[in-house]
Amino acid sequence: MSEPDFDRLDCSAVIADVYLLLDSECDAGSREKLQRHLDECGTCLEAYGIEEKIKSLLSRKCGGEHAPEGLRERLMLQIRRTVVITETDSAES
């Protein structure tokens, strides 16, 4: 008897969640389903391998760089402005 359809993942779902697996940001059940699909699907395994290599390359080449001083504060200020504008616009409607 084959595996139930609800327990199978399609390739688009696996590719969309590949970074969750790479970053260890999924629970054990999701990790198991993703890994099972990768073990059975060469196309997704190839895509996973490419993403893994890109992530590794970015980490090696950009891992030691730090954002300029004050960037966090400027971003937080901009986020606050956006939230205030959004709340004001919503209240006027």
84: in domain = no
37: in domain = yes
75: in domain = no
* Angle of CA points 76, 81, 83, to nearest 5°: 95
17: in domain = yes
24: in domain = yes
47: in domain = yes
87: in domain = no
* Cut 0.85: pTM above it: no
Domain span at 27: 5-68
pLDDT of residue 74: 92
Number of domains in the chain: 1
Calpha distance 35→23 (Å, rounded): 14
38 falls in which pLDDT band (50, 70, 90)? very high
Neighbouring residues of 30: CB distance < 8 A, sequence distance ≥ 6: 17, 20
79: in domain = no
40-75: per-residue pLDDT in tens? 999 999 999 999 999 898 888 887 777 788 998 998
